[in-house]
Amino acid sequence: MSMRLLMTGYSLALLAVLLGCVIVARSRYAYRGIHWLTASVSAALIGVALVDGRGLIPDFASIVLGNEAILASFVLLHQAILVIVRSRRSYPGFSQGLAALVCAALMYFTYSAPDIASRIVVMSAAVALQCAISAWVLLTTDEPALRSPMRMLAGVLISFQVLEIARIVAAILRPPPPDIMHADDVHSFFMLLQCIMGLANMAAVLWLALCSQRDDLHAMAFTDGLTGLMNRRGFDELLEREIQRSQYGSEPIALLLIDLDHFKAINDQFGHQTGDEVIRCMSKLLHAQTRAADSVARYGGEEFVMLLRGSQTGHAESVAERLRNQIAAIEGLPHGICLTASIGIAVYGPDDTITSLVKRSDDALYRSKRLGRNRVSTATV
């Protein structure tokens, strides 16, 4: 197998990946971590091109700088992973120290005691160690929505680590010829596998970035921008699933529709910024008072909705009264504003649909409004 042809082919593949990364990075919807991935691919391309120039350029550039650039690509890939999975476990001092040790070892085994097998051992050990750190971050980061792509990337990195360890063993047991461009079939095969695994690494990181972007867009579509609570669209989809689950499992669910009294007057008198602050305070209270099994959302304007799982009428009324009293007791609002809320309750019945359940809770809410506000009303089935 022609090593120079293999390296040239790998360089062209990296160039294609780099162009794709640059296009994505310049697009309006750039993926998180894409700039670090672009830097990683660039470093890999530079490193492979320098190694491919062995015999045509000085050994320092081909051996030392080329291998350092390849190692840098793994360090930058690790940084891309950290950004994508939102991990703060960065070890810049370790990576810098590792690069310095590798540089010193490459210089020694190139000029003081020339030995290609030792250079392979040093480089493979450094890459295996960097892959192990990246895989550890992926396997210990809690991102449920990204679990599948994270595990796949961790598997690719661990496979790369195993490959590097196997190459260390091969270099010790069967040292390659001094000119790597004339390597035997064993070491040529290892180089081919490294090229394949290198591209697999980048593809897996791209998939992880794509899944992360999809998760971000999903969160934006179903999250209220002002409060951070679920929005109406998200809640409607959740309610549909819960009604289906209740139909099959016979678990009762209750809906609380909560509306701030005289909120328009607050906006008119004190301005929309004050109104937004009131909405945020209200959302924090509701979020703090929501059980892990329940859900709360901003349904629109000054209206909030709460889904109580496993709740019959008595429990729902108890929760609503507690919330009503806590809302009235909120202190520290701008301009000394005092809040009250009207609440409507509807418990899911066997003939209910999403529309009818929401309408019954809405009717109960407006009954509270008609009766003087700051009270709780329950819809009849």
Average pLDDT over every residue of 143-153: 89
Give a yes or no: residue 335 inside a domain.
Answer: yes
Q: How far is CA 216 from the centre of its chain?
A: 8
Residues 35 and 70 reside in one and the same domain:
yes
Structural domain including 185 reads 3-221
What burial class does residue 7 get, using C-beta atoms within 10 Å of its C-beta: 0-12 exposed, 13-18 middle, 19+ buried?
buried
pLDDT at 4: 76
pLDDT of residue 139 exceeding 80, the answer is yes
Q: Which residues are catalytically annotated?
A: 302
CATH number at residue 325: 3.30.70.270
What three-state secondary structure class fits 320?
Answer: helix
Give a yes or no: residue 69 inside a domain.
Answer: yes
Average pLDDT over every residue of 193-208: 92
pLDDT at 364: 94
* Weakest mean pLDDT among 100-104, 216-220, 237-241, 270-274: 216-220
> Are the C-beta atoms of 138 and 151 separated by less than 8 Å?
yes
Q: How far apart are CA 199 and CA 10, in angstroms?
A: 9
pLDDT of residue 290 exceeding 60, the answer is yes
Closest CA to 332 of 264, 269, 268, 284: 284
Is the pTM for the entire model greater than 0.85?
no
Give the other-Cβ count within 10 Å of 12's Cβ.
Answer: 12
- The residues that bridge with 319 in the sheet, in sequence order, are none
Which of 221, 252, 268 terminates a domain? The answer is 221
pLDDT of residue 353 exceeding 90, the answer is no
Residues 204 and 275 reside in one and the same domain:
no
Average pLDDT over every residue of 320-329: 93
Give a yes or no: residue 287 inside a domain.
Answer: yes
Q: How far apart are CA 200 and CA 158, in angstroms?
A: 12
Number of structural domains in the chain: 2
Model confidence band, residue 15 (pLDDT cutoffs 50, 70, 90): very high
Model confidence band, residue 292 (pLDDT cutoffs 50, 70, 90): confident
Give a yes or no: residue 278 inside a domain.
Answer: yes
pLDDT of residue 213 exceeding 90, the answer is no
Which of 199, 221, 243 terminates a domain? The answer is 221
Average pLDDT over every residue of 125-144: 92
Q: Average per-residue pLDDT in the chain?
A: 89
User: Which amino acid is located at 188 in the chain?
Assistant: S
242-247-251-253 Cα dihedral, nearest 10 degrees: 50
pLDDT digits (tens, 9 = 90+) for 166-198: 999 998 988 877 776 676 778 788 888 999 999
Average pLDDT over every residue of 297-305: 93
Average pLDDT over every residue of 40-55: 91
Give a yes or no: residue 140 inside a domain.
Answer: yes
Residue 149: which residues within 8 A CB-CB, separation 6 or more? 204, 207, 208, 211
Give a yes or no: residue 68 inside a domain.
Answer: yes
Residues 164 and 240 reside in one and the same domain:
no
Model confidence band, residue 249 (pLDDT cutoffs 50, 70, 90): low
Residues 78 and 205 reside in one and the same domain:
yes
pLDDT of residue 1 exceeding 60, the answer is no
Enumerate helices (H) and strands (E) in the chain, giving the number of each: 13, 5
pLDDT cut 90: percent of the chain above it: 58
- The residues that bridge with 254 in the sheet, in sequence order, are 308, 347
Residue 326: which residues within 8 A CB-CB, separation 6 or more? 285, 289
pLDDT of residue 7 exceeding 60, the answer is yes
Model confidence band, residue 254 (pLDDT cutoffs 50, 70, 90): very high
pLDDT at 61: 93
CATH number at residue 168: 1.20.1070
